[in-house]
Structure 1
Amino acid sequence: MLKAYKCLYRKYPDIMIFTHEIESFLEEDLGYNDVSCKLVPERNVEATIFAKEDCTLAGLDIAAAIFEYFGINYSTEHEDGEMLSQGGIIFSLSGSSLSILRAERLTLNFLGHLCGIATNTRKCVDIARKHSDVRIACTRKTTPGIRRYEKMAVIAGGGDPHRFNLTDTIMIKDNHVKLMGVEGAIMSAKQKAGFTQKIEVEVESTADAIHAARSGADIIMLDNMEPSEVTDTIDRLREENIPEHVIIEVSGGINMENLNDYAKTGADVISMGSLIHRSRWIDISLEITE
Structure 2
Amino acid sequence: MKPTYLTPESINAFIAAALAEDVGDGDHSSLAAIPANAQNQARLLVKGDGILAGVEMAGYIFKAVDPQLELDVMMQDGATMKYGDVAFTVKGKAQSILTAERLVLNCMQRMSGIATHTHYLASLIAGTGAKLLDTRKTTPNFRLMEKWAVVIGGGENHRFGLYDMVMLKDNHIDYAGGIREAITATHTYLQAKGKNLKIEVETRNLEEVQQVLGTGGINRIMLDNMSTDMMREAVAIIGGKYETEASGGITEETIRAVAECGVDYISVGALTHSIKSIDLSLKAF
Scaled by the length of structure 2, the TM-score of the pair is: 0.89
AA paired with 1:75? D
Q: Deviations over 1:253-286 (max 9, x none)?
A: 1122321221211110000100101111010101
Q: Which residue of 1 aligns with 2:186?
A: 189
1:213–1:220 Cα contact (<8 Å) kept: no
Give 1:195 deviation, angstroms: 6.1
Q: Deviations over 1:168-226 (max 9, x none)?
A: 11111101211221111111112223563111100100111121123112100011112
User: Structure 1's 181 and 279: CA in aligned 2 closer, same or farther, altered over 3 A?
Assistant: same
- Partners of 2:230 and 2:101 lie apart in 1 by 49
Match among 110, 120, 143 for residue 147 of structure 1: 143
Q: Name the stretch that deviates more: 107-116 or 14-23.
A: 14-23
Give 1:19 deviation, angstroms: 4.2
Check if 1:30 corresponds to 2:23. yes
AA paired with 1:23? A
What is the DSSP-based 3-state SS (H/G/I as helix, E as strand, rest coil) of the residue aligned with 2:159? coil
User: Structure 1's 266 and 192: CA in aligned 2 closer, same or farther, altered over 3 A?
Assistant: same
Check if 1:163 corresponds to 2:164. no
Check if 1:41 corresponds to 2:35. yes
AA paired with 2:271? L
- Partners of 1:59 and 1:191 lie apart in 2 by 42
What is the DSSP-based 3-state SS (H/G/I as helix, E as strand, rest coil) of the residue aligned with 2:244? strand
2:76–2:87 Cα contact (<8 Å) kept: no
1:15–1:149 Cα contact (<8 Å) kept: no
Matched pairs, number: 273
Give 1:30 deviation, angstroms: 2.8
AA paired with 1:57? L
Q: Which contiguous aligned blocks of 4+ residues in structure 1 show a shift greater than 4 angstroms? A: 17-20
Q: Which runs of 5+ in 2 are unaligned?
A: none
- Partners of 1:185 and 1:221 lie apart in 2 by 15
1:59–1:153 Cα contact (<8 Å) kept: yes
2:40–2:93 Cα contact (<8 Å) kept: yes
What is the DSSP-based 3-state SS (H/G/I as helix, E as strand, rest coil) of the residue aligned with 1:143? coil
Match among 274, 277, 285 for residue 270 of structure 2: 274
- Partners of 1:105 and 1:151 lie apart in 2 by 20
Q: Name the stretch that deviates more: 263-272 or 229-238.
A: 229-238
Give 1:26 deviation, angstroms: 2.0
1:222–1:248 Cα contact (<8 Å) kept: yes
Q: Which residue of 1 aligns with 2:235?
A: 234
Q: Deviations over 1:229-262 (max 9, x none)?
A: 2112212333xxx62xx10101011122321221
**What is the Cα-based RMSD across aligned positions, in Å?**
1.9
2:27–2:99 Cα contact (<8 Å) kept: no
Check if 1:136 corresponds to 2:132. yes
Give 1:50 deviation, angstroms: 2.1
User: Structure 1's 156 and 33: CA in aligned 2 closer, same or farther, altered over 3 A?
Assistant: closer
Q: Which residue of 1 aligns with 2:210?
A: 210
**What is the aligned-residue identity percentage?**
35
User: Structure 1's 96 and 147: CA in aligned 2 closer, same or farther, altered over 3 A?
Assistant: same
Q: Name the stretch that deviates more: 52-61 or 152-161.
A: 52-61
Q: Name the stretch that deviates more: 171-180 or 156-165.
A: 171-180
Match among 71, 76, 83 for residue 73 of structure 2: 76
Check if 1:110 corresponds to 2:104. no
1:26–1:106 Cα contact (<8 Å) kept: yes
1:251–1:272 Cα contact (<8 Å) kept: yes
- Partners of 1:278 and 1:33 lie apart in 2 by 33
Q: Which residue of 1 aligns with 2:246?
A: 250
Q: Which runs of 5+ in 1 are unaligned?
A: 1-10
- Partners of 1:211 and 1:79 lie apart in 2 by 47
